[in-house]
Structure 1
Amino acid sequence: MSQCLNPDCLANNPPDSRFCQRCGAKLLLKERYRAIAIIGQGGFGRTFKAVDEDKPSKPLCVIKQFFPQGVGTQGIEKAKQLFELEAVRLDELGHHPQIPALYAYFTQDNRQYLVQEYIPGKTLLKELETQGKFSQQQVINLLGSLLPLLDFIHNKQVIHRDIKPDNIIRRHPDQQLILVDFGAAKFATAKALTSPGTSIGSSGYAAPEQTLGQANFSSDIYSLGVTCIYLLTQVPPGNYTMFMMGNGIGANI
């Protein structure tokens, strides 16, 4: 199957089609990347599972398309900047084995795209939904894998700003944990660490200072901590006060 990338069409086409049979849009990006299915979408774009037809093995990859919806001009400009910065961050960090590699970043048909490594496996959110609560040992192992990764990212002066279970994939078949979605990542200059910026991140996982637009390296540690608590308890962030009181612990998390 070949997925049309025209946001107003998105029709499915036969596998070897070069143009969409419904709208006529070109199906190959840069004459090599073919989308085969939508795997995610949000207010600023869509993510497609794809194949690289320039290589004999036609390996899988991921296409991210910038396509903002329902936001004002200022929001679009900010989202465009973040999309561009995601490509920059992946280019800087993607040589690490726990971060997806960036393959390409370009504009086609007046839309921005980035192409990155496809990570086979399940997110930790999916694992939680299918397997239930994580054990203490599983969370200890998780921290042993992800804390050195955060140390690497922070040493590169980058704050991820969106660590949560659905942004961590357990890769098959080696079971390595991969951190994805650097769309909210921020370069931690001295000015950025001391001046208020954009409030960004996922509700419940973002540290208090991050919600005020003042994320720092500790903000990622906070988000990882909330992620671990959720995996251990299966209680969504924001409900921890009720959970603790109901269990006689009498403290806020």
Structure 2
Amino acid sequence: MRSKPKEGMVVAGYLLTRRLGAGGFGQVFLARWRRHRRALKFIPLRDAGEWGRRELSVLVHVRHANVVRLVGHAEWPEEAPEYLVLLMEYVEGQPLYEWAREENPSARQVARVVLKLARVLEFLHREGVLHRDLKGDNVLVRVGEQEPVLVDFGSAAWGGAPRVTRGALAPGTLHYRSPESVRFFLQPRREPGARYGYTPADELYALGVIFYVLLTDVHPFDGPEELMLGEILGRVPAAPHQLNPRVPRALSELCMRLLEKEPITRLASAVALGQALEEVLQGTEATWDMPLFYGWGQEVRTTEDEPARVDAGTPPWLVQWTRQRPRRGKPPAPAASPLSPAAAVAALRWAAERVVDRFWSWDNG
């Protein structure tokens, strides 16, 4: 392409000030017009124009407080367009997992965030929309609030959107793929051109993975792709309360219901998940307000905070994790290194000389 968006350019009347990120379907820039800040997503028309128009049609269709808001769109450059540009609200906040690691939320806070995500999925599914790439990176938490905002609808499916999926599976991340989608993908005699039919059950599984990471700081399955494919199909991950004893049992069990291998044994819908979360939140104890992880200022671990023993089949990466779980919260500022006695004397002598010089200059001024 001859034209590439860069910081300092003016596109659709907006000054591009900073690149926020890049993905499979384009780049996103923070842009300004007067006092307005927007996120401008540049989608190459030649390589991903169909996906861009699909995302545009979905965002025009949906309006929800927890879905990124579309402001407008344009093609750029105007004289010979090479990009579809989506003008969206700028969500000032952090990616979900970054927020969790910095804020060290309690079980109650995590449950409320997942409840809000369940409510937005309920809305989308009622509108016939499937995000199809639900993961931690595609959820932002607004600064100063605990409001999650779902972003990046480039892989979304909607009855009124053009169909562009060419592979067996829609674009996505393996960590969040459901067992039934992996099973379809690994079929030895799959018909040429056959495509997996993504459903709300896949979306609920992906939300279960997000839930699991918020509670434990690890994915239920990790490692090389070949290993993960087999584990998604055949291994039941350790329950969150087994890895992290600060996770309430009721919340752990609810998370595991979302990760069931068969869709029929999962929670039936986002509505059912929301109702279940509301029920467990009504009966919570004070321990639900304890941070789920140690902060950086705590050095001693109590017996009840020790993870449960793992069995012989536990992957090595998880065994290592149980021995030293990560910390959350803002790390303390590095302490200033103390001066040696000789350096302290030198610093005092330098300061005294500066004072003498200052008085001398005044006396001779």
Q: 1:108 aligns with which of 76, 96, 110?
A: 76
How far residue 44 of structure 1 moved from its aligned partner, in angstroms, is 2.8
Structure 1, residues 204-227: CA drift from partner, whole Å, max 9, x if none? 112234454321111111100011
> 1:30-179 counterparts in 2 under 5 A?
30=12, 32-53=13-34, 58-67=35-44, 76=47, 79-93=48-62, 95-109=63-77, 110=81, 111-131=83-103, 134-179=105-150
Structure 2: gaps spanning 5 or more residues: 186-195, 223-230, 244-307, 316-365
- Write the mapping of 1:156-235 to structure 2, written as runs, cut at 5 A: 156-188=127-159, 198-210=169-181, 212=185, 213-235=196-218
Secondary structure, aligned partner of 1:218:
helix
1:237: how far off? Answer: 4.5
- The alpha carbon displacement at 1:124 in A equals 1.0
Q: Is the helix fraction higher in 1 or 2?
A: 2
CA distance in structure 1 between the aligned counterparts of 2:180 and 2:155, rounded to whole angstroms: 15
Instruction: Find the structure with the greater CA-based Rg.
Output: 2
Task: Quote the Cα distance in structure 2 between the aligned partners of 1:186 and 1:29.
Answer: 28
**Identical columns (%):** 26
Q: Is the 8 A contact 1:82 1:184 kept in 2?
A: yes
Structure 2 match to 1:23:
none
2:197 is paired with a residue whose SS is coil
Counterpart Cα distance in 1 of 2:177 and 2:211: 14
Report if the CA contact (8 A) 2:116-2:148 is conserved: yes
Deviation digits for residues 233-253 of structure 1 (CA, Å, limit 9, x no counterpart): 11134238597398437799x
Residue 161 of structure 1 contacts residue 206 of structure 1 at CA under 8 Å; is this kept in 2?
Answer: no
SS at 1:122 equivalent: strand
Q: How many angstroms apart in 2 are the aligned matches of 1:217 and 1:107?
A: 33
Which of 1 and 2 has higher RCO (CA within 8 Å, sep 6+)?
Answer: 2
TM-score, normalised by the number of residues in structure 1:
0.73
Rounded Cα–Cα distance in structure 1 between residues aligned with 2:220 and 2:52: 27
Q: Does the C-alpha gap of structure 1 residues 247 and 124 become closer, same or farther in structure 2, counting only changes over 3 Å? A: farther
Alignment TM-score, normalising by the size of structure 2: 0.52
Structure 1 residues without counterparts, runs of 5 or longer: 14-26
CA RMSD of aligned residues (A): 3.1
Larger strand proportion, structure 1 or 2?
1
Counterpart contact for 1:47–1:64, Cα < 8 Å: yes
